[in-house]
Amino acid sequence: MKREASRAISFVVNGAERTYKGPAFKRLIDVLREDFGLTGTKEGCGEGECGACTVLLDGKPAASCLVPVSQVHGRKVETVESLARGESLNPLQRSFLEEAAAQCGICTPGILLTAWSWVKAGGSADPEAVRKHLSGNLCRCTGYQSIVDAVVKTVKKRRAA
Amino acid sequence: MRGIPGSMQVLRPRTADEAVEAFAEHPLALPVAGGTDVMVLWNMGLLNDRPVLDLSAVAGWRGVRKAPGGLRVGALTTHAELRDHPEIRRSFPLLAQACAEVGSVQIQNRGTIGGNIANASPAGDTFPALAVYEAKVHARSRHGVRVIPFLDVFAGVKKTVLNQAELISAVELPFLPAKPHRTVFRKVGTRSAQAISKIVAAGLLWLGKGRAVSELRFALGSMAPTVRRLRAVEARVAGRKLGPALVATAVEDAARDVFPIDDIRSTAEYRLAVSRNILRSFLQA
Ligand SMILES: Cc1cc2nc3c(=O)[nH]c(=O)nc-3n(C[C@H](O)[C@H](O)[C@H](O)COP(=O)(O)OP(=O)(O)OC[C@H]3O[C@@H](n4cnc5c(N)ncnc54)[C@H](O)[C@@H]3O)c2cc1C
Ligand code: FES
Ligand code: FES
């Protein structure tokens, strides 16, 4: 069995294989921001309450402030940087712009990823179901309505397409 | 003060045997499953310099399997997996409902049933369901597996009867002898997400000849240092028909098995009143 304070930990970040060398108990959020320069992921509470640090771990929303990097070896991580292709925004991001669903923006990366997991999994356009799925993501600015509208709009567009 | 990653030694067993061996060799190591309880404390800098036993790679402790007379849920099974599992939803729906109310999607995707039990919060949301389903907890050490009836696992607030070198490997769910006529699960919190329960309740009721109660199982969380079955209420209604007078007496009896307190989340009075309302509407239905 492996026992060490640090070792190489490899995982896929936004489609590319990355290797981290350093303390194995570093938080995933800190590895993404400090070691990989992916500062799109934001820290709010550091206690799992606010969802600002949400990333997709094997496609599912997880609070990266609560994940020791030792646990992501061999797994797949997606951050907000994975959504746009260069200057071209993904459909959910476009709806966020159109519905003015971001104000200060600190919650936005986490909300986009939680919402994207919903859209991708074929989640419904029922605003109540969307609210429930997003209930672990706090926003102090928008009052949520514009966010829910943006997600519902994206789901509907996808269905129509 | 924050957690200092460089101060932590991480042990990463791949098998159950490796895990219990490592725990025996490092009795001060802190087990980590989904980390949703541990990492909060660690982020506050409260756990620096501890060796960590990262259980997340232990094969065989994840997922739901058929077992003789029931299902065996691996300790590393997440709330999300239980929430969505067809066989859990069919045979143990109150557990699926409880898991759907834990924290948020993010917490459900990471938090495990073993971690929920080992953490032994008075407000653990899966506990009333596990209590009425009469689950059994498998505590594994290098000496083998000890099977503990669910209610006996808890020794107090945040305390279990697990020995130094024991890890939870699984939770056994025996199939119910017959389909209950009524079931209830209720979580009462300040809001729907991320709220620690003020009260959490689960109940199963079987009716027999002439609609007399053949069995009632009713459990409450957040109403005492540990989850409680309402034994006095269960005994009161056994074998009798649920008329208004009996329901009223039974609802009074609810106070006999719980010890609610005033705390930051609620008051003892509120907790007892709401628990009685849940019980009353369940028995009256
Ligand atoms: C924002 C937030 C909201 C939450 N909401 C809820 C809620 O609504 N309801 C609720 O019940 N809980 C809630 N929790 C608490 C937590 O998510 C659950 O208790 C979860 O099930 C813990 O599982 P875990 O795998 O993450 O545990 P971990 O954090 O990995 O471990 C928890 C404890 O159990 C020990 N442990 C873990 N696995 C084992 C094992 N197999 N054998 C022996 N010991 C073990 C650890 O050493 C630690 O002491 C919340 C937590 C957060 C951060
Ligand atoms: S920063 Fe991770 S949940 Fe708030
Ligand atoms: S836009 Fe400011 S917190 Fe959500």
Examine the pLDDT at A152 and tell me if it is beyond 80: yes
Examine the pLDDT at B190 and tell me if it is beyond 90: no
Cβ-based interface (< 8 Å): residues of B facing A: 3, 5-6, 8-14, 18, 22, 32, 35-36, 39-40, 42-43, 52, 54, 56-57, 80, 103-107, 109-110, 192-194
For B171, counting Cβ atoms within 10 Å of its Cβ (0-12 exposed, 13-18 middle, 19+ buried), the class is: buried
Q: How far is the CA of A51 from the centre of ligand 3 (A)?
A: 12
- Are A96 and A33 members of one domain? no
- Are A36 and A54 members of one domain? yes
Residue A137 domain boundaries:
91-160
* pLDDT score, position B263: 86
Task: Tell me the pTM.
Answer: 0.96
- From A25, A55, A82, give the residue that closes a domain: A82
User: In sequence order, what are the residues at sequence separation of 6 or more whose Cβ sits closer than 8 angstroms to the Cβ of residue A79?
Assistant: A13, A14, A32, A38, A40, A41, A55, A109, A113
* pLDDT score, position A4: 54
- Are A146 and A98 members of one domain? yes
For B211, counting Cβ atoms within 10 Å of its Cβ (0-12 exposed, 13-18 middle, 19+ buried), the class is: exposed
Nearest by CB to A25, from B8, B13, B193: name it: B8
The mean pLDDT value for B154-158 works out to 96
CATH of the domain spanning B61-174, picked from 3.30.565.10, 3.40.50.300, 3.30.465.10, 3.60.20.10 = 3.30.465.10
Examine the pLDDT at B20 and tell me if it is beyond 80: yes
- Structural domain contains residue A1: no
- Are A106 and A146 members of one domain? yes
As a whole number, the mean pLDDT across chain A is 95
The mean pLDDT value for B69-85 works out to 98
Nearest by CB to B6, from A23, A61, A137: name it: A23
Residues B95, B78 contacting (CB under 8 angstroms): no
- Structural domain contains residue A69: yes
What's the rounded Cα separation, in Å, for the pair B225 and B123? Answer: 9
- Structural domain contains residue A140: yes
Q: pLDDT-based confidence at A111, cuts 50/70/90?
A: very high
Count how many domains chain A has: 2
CATH of the domain at A14: 3.10.20.30
Q: How far is the CA of B42 from the centre of ligand 3 (A)?
A: 27
Examine the pLDDT at B197 and tell me if it is beyond 70: yes
- Are A95 and A77 members of one domain? no
- Ligand 1 pocket, residues with Cβ under 6 angstroms: A 48-49; B 30-38, 40, 55, 75, 102-103, 107, 110-112, 114-116, 118-119, 124-125, 167-168, 194
Min Cα separation B54/chain A (Å): 8
Amino acid identity of residue B175, one-letter, is: F
**CA dist A158 → A119, B146, B170 (Å):** 8, 52, 41
Tell me the per-residue pLDDT of B80-96, one tens digit each, with 9 for 90 and over. 999 999 999 999 999 99
What are the structural domain ranges in chain B?
10-54, 61-174, 182-284
Examine the pLDDT at B1 and tell me if it is beyond 70: no
In chain A, residues 72-91 whose CB comes closer than 8 Å to chain B: 73
Element (H, E) at B215: strand B213-221
Q: Distance between alpha carbon B242 and the CA centroid of its chain, in Å?
A: 29
Examine the pLDDT at B193 and tell me if it is beyond 80: no
* pLDDT score, position B196: 87
* pLDDT score, position A45: 96
- From A65, A82, A99, give the residue that closes a domain: A82
Above pLDDT 70, what percent of chain A? 96
User: In sequence order, what are the residues at sequence separation of 6 or more whose Cβ sits closer than 8 angstroms to the Cβ of residue B185?
Assistant: B93, B94, B97, B98, B128, B129, B201, B202
Tell me the per-residue pLDDT of A48-71, one tens digit each, with 9 for 90 and over. 999 999 999 999 999 999 999 999
ipTM of the predicted structure?
Answer: 0.96
Examine the pLDDT at A28 and tell me if it is beyond 90: yes
Closest CA to A125 of A149, A101, A152, A150: A152
In chain A, residues 23-82 whose CB comes closer than 8 Å to chain B: 23-27, 30, 46-49, 51, 54, 57, 60-63, 65-68, 70-71, 73
- Are A111 and A155 members of one domain? yes
Q: Ligand 1: which residue has its CA nearest to atom 31?
A: B115
CATH of the domain spanning B182-284, picked from 2.115.10.20, 3.30.390.50, 3.10.50.40, 3.40.1740.10 = 3.30.390.50
* pLDDT score, position B133: 98
- Are A121 and A97 members of one domain? yes
CATH of the domain at A152: 1.10.150.120
Residues B45, B1 contacting (CB under 8 angstroms): yes
- Are A95 and A75 members of one domain? no
Examine the pLDDT at B183 and tell me if it is beyond 90: yes
Q: Ligand 2: which residue has its CA nearest to atom 3?
A: A48
As a whole number, the mean pLDDT across chain B is 95
Write out the two tokens for A119: 């859209």
- Structural domain contains residue A103: yes
Nearest by CB to A3, from B11, B32, B107: name it: B11
Examine the pLDDT at A2 and tell me if it is beyond 60: no
* pLDDT score, position A6: 59
* pLDDT score, position B99: 98
The mean pLDDT value for B68-73 works out to 97
